[in-house]
Structure 1
Amino acid sequence: MKVVMIGAGYVGLVSGACFSEFGVEVACVDKDANRIRELTEGRIPIYEPGLEDLVRDNGKAGRLTFSTDLASAMVGAEAVFIAVGTPSRRGDGHADMSYVFQAAREIAASLDGYTVIVTKSTVPVGTGRRVSEIIRDIRPDAEFDVVSNPEFLREGSAINDFMRPDRIVIGAETERARAVMRRLYRPLYLIETPMVFTGLETSELIKYAANSFLATKITFINEIADLCEKVGADVHDVARGIGLDGRIGRKFLHPGPGYGGSCFPKDTLALVRTAQEADAPLRIIETVVASNDARKAAMVGRVLSACGGNVRGKAIAVLGLTFKPNTDDMRDSPSLMILPRLLEQGAKVRAFDPEGMNEARKLMPEVEYCGSAEEAMAGADCLLLLTEWNEFRALDPRRIKAILGKPVVVDLRNVYNPAEMRGAGLTYTSIGRPNGHPTEPA
């Protein structure tokens, strides 16, 4: 079986590599000639654990190839996946569908025989219908079906999510298209992965609804954390107490500086806009979007408070820049809101991240980037932990105290034990735990 993946970015590259691991012949097509050259030479333009080995091994086996020529790649393909970006459109928050619709036009020009056209990108309800109309207008004689097959990949664990998913969602309206998709996902069917077959609109909405619900859980526990600080409760015990209820579940109940990344911010906003246009406003999700934006901004106040109300001329050591560990993705990371505001307040920001600094430099060139956590902390007036990379978890509180210029730590991921940090002589600020704020100036 042969398939084409249009878009060699995060979703397209991971999906293409994983399909090739199933034994499928996969051609990844992208207009970015530099990216295709890098991939052909075995260089991976994104950081995702295990992806480099997967691409290299399947490339050597001849199952995974890269090209800028869609027409030649589509020869003999039974399915063509659209896995291009759908970023938030400037001004109104709608998903920008220009790349998806352009891909549809190019597919239409290259169709030869029955083909299943699959939207893998996260797209608003109604996109599948529009893709079908575009192709039918260009090629009224073509034999094809449009299918929705949303991805549910978490950055940092995407390969495992693809190989051992909770479910596969397929929106298809003909048995012929469903048969192609069943054959493609047969290895997952054999391990009894639930297959949800539904209509186009339902499949498209499932993806947005899932991400918006998870974003709601994050926002909920963040607001509960704020309440915990006011009443002297511990948010981690609250999260455990409610998470053990099977109806709620334990995941996505960890407090922090707000959600970021390539999915939750744009998907919640796009769902809000879709609902408003359909005259069925989603008030809960609207509040989630507003609360999350406000939370990122509020984190600056925690740093100011820990530093005695003023950071002018003070060195702030920042550990972690990406929106989560095990990725180099900086999209909508809380650091992009927090660090510029600290700089505006006159702080000197020194940062270290194991994988995200190349991307961060493009977005925040005024930050000083360091080669290690210790270099960032050396002589600093405050340590700010923004991303919970494992190597930061292992830092010794006594060592932190010895390296810092002033013993002030603001932990926005609750990585450290408050008693141990205070026992080492550190003024420690965390989220949603008793005495989470400093009780006296540093």
Structure 2
Amino acid sequence: MKIGIIGYGFVGEALSKGFKNDVEVFKVDPKLKTSIEDLKEFNPETIFICVPTPMHSDGIQDISTLEQVAEDLKKNNFDSLVVLKSTVHPGNINDIKKIIPSLVYNPEFLREKHAYEDFINSNLIVFGGNKESSNKIAQIYLKHTKCVNKDYIFTDLITASLLKYAINSFLASKVIFFNEFHDLFNAVNTNESWTNFINYLSRDTRLGNSHMNVPGHDGRFGFGGACLPKDANAITEYASKLNVEMSLIKHVINTNNKIRASYEDVTDREEQQNIKYNDGEVKK
């Protein structure tokens, strides 16, 4: 089987490593000096799009690279089934579907530093799109990947997108909740460590045991990285166009901006995604 992967960041790399040895993978990425024309010559049965969707300075999602890829695939008359893994909110995913009508959305739920392990061990594998195309992608996962989970979710494009944003928005909110509770913990008289405290909390399985460490894995307070900041901003901006007031998530963003603005710099990955932390309010 021949598979094409467009975009070879941490998502594309995890996907590539997650295929079995019976799959031949061709990767398109500027740093690899490969092109859509090269991919056309390779003639893959299925193409996975894993390009970045950074944010503009106003928080709006930038899908210009994704749109260009979709247009290039259309222009080159690919017969391949196209699967989108890039994070795209419902409004923008409809725009991409207009270019690629048979599009399947298969969002990723990966931690950047553990992307391969998360890919093969994910208990949430979602296929959004028409039934026939989604079933074909599910068969690829079933027969040709190292993924352990075989219990797939089949839904529409919009629901698949909302699942991705609901999870990342909740995790962002969870980080800020525990940052604020950490302040309270330090203000009261307790003999326990914060590590012990969150270990006790995580015994209640309703809470889960992730996103409780303060500071986080990057040694900083609040949330950062390439995903949570841009996704929280993107979904609130999209919701505002539908006259939906996501006040809780906006509060989370505002609080995080104030926390992160105290640091003098952003990480390389944040810079690549055009993530900035302004000590002020998000757009209403």
Q: Note whether the superposition's TM-score is higher than 0.5.
A: yes
Quote the Cα distance in structure 1 between the aligned partners of 2:225 and 2:263: 17
Quote the Cα distance in structure 2 between the aligned partners of 1:112 and 1:79: 10
Closer/same/farther in 2, CA of residues 178 and 27 from structure 1, 3 Å limit: same
C-alpha RMSD over aligned residues: 2.7
Show structure 1 runs of 4+ deviating over 6 A: none
**How many angstroms does 1:231 deviate by?**
1.9
Structure 1 residues not aligned, in runs of 5+: 38-66, 136-143, 301-320, 324-328, 339-442
Pick one of 246, 268, 271 that aligns with 2:232: 268
**How many angstroms does 1:209 deviate by?**
1.1
Aligned residues: 266
Q: Mapping of 1:26-425 within 5 angstroms? A: 26-30=25-29, 32=30, 35-36=31-32, 67-68=34-35, 70-74=36-40, 75-90=42-57, 92-113=58-79, 115-135=80-100, 145-175=102-132, 177-187=133-143, 191-233=148-190, 234=192, 235-256=194-215, 257-297=221-261, 330-331=269-270
SS at match of 1:292: helix
Given that 2:7 and 2:27 are in contact with CA atoms closer than 8 Å, whether structure 1 keeps it comes out as yes
**How many angstroms does 1:332 deviate by?**
6.3
Deviations 1:59-112 (A, max 9, x none): xxxxxxxx22x134135322222211111112x201101111111100001224
Closer/same/farther in 2, CA of residues 171 and 232 from structure 1, 3 Å limit: same
Closer/same/farther in 2, CA of residues 170 and 226 from structure 1, 3 Å limit: same
Deviations 1:283-327 (A, max 9, x none): 111111111122234579xxxxxxxxxxxxxxxxxxxx996xxxx
SS at match of 1:227: helix
Quote the Cα distance in structure 1 between the aligned partners of 2:8 and 2:196: 42
Structure 2 residues not aligned, in runs of 5+: 216-220, 278-284
SS at match of 2:108: coil
Q: Give the aligned residue type for 2:260.
A: K
Given that 1:167 and 1:193 are in contact with CA atoms closer than 8 Å, whether structure 2 keeps it comes out as no
Closer/same/farther in 2, CA of residues 332 and 268 from structure 1, 3 Å limit: farther
Given that 2:18 and 2:146 are in contact with CA atoms closer than 8 Å, whether structure 1 keeps it comes out as no
Given that 2:10 and 2:115 are in contact with CA atoms closer than 8 Å, whether structure 1 keeps it comes out as no
SS at match of 2:83: strand
**How many angstroms does 1:258 deviate by?**
1.5
Q: Give the aligned residue type for 1:36.
A: L
Query: Is residue 2:17 matched to residue 1:5?
Result: no
Given that 1:208 and 1:267 are in contact with CA atoms closer than 8 Å, whether structure 2 keeps it comes out as yes
Given that 2:223 and 2:229 are in contact with CA atoms closer than 8 Å, whether structure 1 keeps it comes out as yes
Q: Give the aligned residue type for 1:96.
A: D
**How many angstroms does 1:220 deviate by?**
0.6
Given that 2:90 and 2:161 are in contact with CA atoms closer than 8 Å, whether structure 1 keeps it comes out as yes
Closer/same/farther in 2, CA of residues 190 and 237 from structure 1, 3 Å limit: closer
Quote the Cα distance in structure 1 between the aligned partners of 2:182 and 2:47: 45
SS at match of 2:270: coil
Quote the Cα distance in structure 2 between the aligned partners of 1:246 and 1:205: 24
Q: Give the aligned residue type for 2:5.
A: M
Quote the Cα distance in structure 2 between the aligned partners of 1:184 and 1:210: 25
Q: Give the aligned residue type for 2:95.
A: R
Closer/same/farther in 2, CA of residues 147 and 36 from structure 1, 3 Å limit: same
Given that 1:261 and 1:332 are in contact with CA atoms closer than 8 Å, whether structure 2 keeps it comes out as no
- TM-score scaled by length of structure 2: 0.84
Q: Percent identity?
A: 32
Given that 2:121 and 2:147 are in contact with CA atoms closer than 8 Å, whether structure 1 keeps it comes out as no
- TM-score scaled by length of structure 1: 0.55
Higher relative contact order (CA 8 A, sep 6+): 2
Given that 2:120 and 2:148 are in contact with CA atoms closer than 8 Å, whether structure 1 keeps it comes out as no
SS at match of 1:223: helix
Quote the Cα distance in structure 1 between the aligned partners of 2:177 and 2:188: 17
**How many angstroms does 1:189 deviate by?**
8.7
SS at match of 1:156: helix
Aligned to 1:431: none
